[in-house]
Structure 1
Amino acid sequence: MKFLDLAKVNIRSGGGGGGCVSFRREKFVEFGGPDGGDGGNGGSVWAEAVEGLNTLIDFRYQQHFFAKSGQPGMGRQKTGKSGEDVVLRVPVGTEILEEDEETLVADLIEPGQRVLLARGGNGGWGNLHFKTATNQAPHRANPGQEGVERALWLRLKLIADAGLVGLPNAGKSTFLAACSNARPKIADYPFTTLVPNLGVVGIDGREFVMADIPGLIAGASEGRGLGDQFLAHVERCEVLLHLVDGTSSTITRDYKTIVEELEAYGYGLSDKPRIVALTKIDALDAATVGRRRRALEKASGGPVLAISAVAGGGMPEVLRAVLARVRPAAEAQEETVKWHP
């Protein structure tokens, strides 16, 4: 299934049916009076977050969603049929934005969460509602309210506990494949990963979700390479795992490149907790690993872990470090949900 994380949709709710002007015509009813029914309500347009979806590809082939209008009222006090609602089924983690792509309408982060995007118009009153003591034969009825039409953007931000960042060929896909059941594409050339990948990682009897995004290069915030468009998928992460290629001769520069791109992107990514790891140590001797690890610790100002996703060296230590940052945030959120005044 092709991955798509941004789509534009045009929606319109149904208009209400008009009220009916009618009078009783039964035989032997001398003063029948009005009996016009009300119009039916128009259908509304909803968005609902559902499990099992991880792309907005369905909205590439269908961009227009129009709910049906309500039927007009009829005689004998019959109310017109209401129009059926239209429900947009979107992946969990979808943001709904106004046409300006900035104003947030809703953020669907839980399965089953629903939001009303366009309310259907009310049906008009029939002439029965306008009967009074001084006007016992009204010849008026209300038209139904018109529906609401609007254009919206759907933007998917994958929900993960931890995110992988780094330059192309830093070993992110290999790392994800080694510690989870995810099977991202792995090759010996840059930009192997073209779309984000999710994997469920297990360590010490606990699990968390990790996201792998395409690699960044210098100038990604200006559109170079694949740009920084996929960084939105790690905005919800509690911690970032920054992988640096240990076989590179420019360790410090590689690290600073990613840090600068995170700062240029904004949205609080540069302030998120980061764990730095030196990858591909199986291809280096111990002296080189120690030297490059110290250089990276000096550049990052903190501890640096050394790992080999292929040989499995250092993997449990990295996963435990990530889990230590993920679990407290999840437990704090659970306590907040359980607490009641």
Structure 2
Amino acid sequence: MAQDTLGVALEVARIAASRGSVAQRAQALLEPLHRLVPFEAHWLALLDPDVQTFAPLAIAGHDERTRRHLEGPGTVADVELVGLTRHRRAICVRDFMVPVQEVVTWADYLWPAGFREGVAAGLFSPDGRHLGSLTLTTDTPAHPTDAARDLLCLLTPTIAAALDPTRTPAAAARAVRGAHGGGVLTRAGAVLPLTGLPDHPLLGPGSALLEVAARQVANGEQYAAFLCPDPTRQAGGGGLVLRRVTVLGCADEPPDFLRAALVVCAAGPRRGLTDIELEVLGMLLAEWPDARIAAALGVSRYQLADHIDSVLTRLGTRDRGVALVRALNQGLHIPPGLRVRV
């Protein structure tokens, strides 16, 4: 094991606290880890929650056949087989609780390629989510040593914090004032927890809000805000309570399975706009023609014109374009798909 054990631990902590992308931190971790374990190949990967396979952040030393296997479902099965999805510990090949021959990744790929030992660790968030895996393989049974394995076990929570893909979205979400709850939307429409914010009923499976939020950042937009009815709450008189939803687009970089952070807050001031007027604004911002809006609302074109006149008055302008810019900037609209009325 490297002689500067404290130096390795301090360097890992420094990298975990550094800025930059997840992939950049993954690459930076390799140098102190190599001082700990003189590996010939490495594999740092995150578990893609949409397809339940591993998405590599840093990989080297493997042939193309092995790389393809590591990104497939067989690796997930092997990680489960050796217990890395259940136990927060680092294990060497010699520590496997099952015969090595049953671990396909090792028996059919790594051993034939000349690797003779290795250490692997599951990476978990503080709330217990399985984030991914780290594997360092060597060409000698002399490494990793037991001491190196044990130190790596102590370092894995810090490494997991460095590679947590929700860390940057969570920091941005916590900066939104008055947040009641939040989550991270994946590209397949699932919602992952955001550290520091509770879940919210509006972000549950099947919620219409998720599809609407995905549309807001579909064209590369990094920010959107709008109002959404909260069917779990009722205002006085039986009306629905509105919530403000802030959508913060995730950077287009590895891991590629995150789309946006979603933050739910109180609606805030609405400048006197009624529910139906907020819906009109949402449809206008979606570039719906007046005839389509009137049909969707079940009103005549004269009634729609009255609604639009009222919107312009409340937003302090007689120009429709100016009103739409103000509504967009202030999040004063209900996008199509989030209907107020049954």
Regarding TM over 0.5, the answer is: no
TM-score (norm 2): 0.27
Instruction: From the CA coordinates, give the structure whose radius of gyration is larger.
Output: 1
Question: So what's the TM-score if we normalise by structure 1?
Answer: 0.27
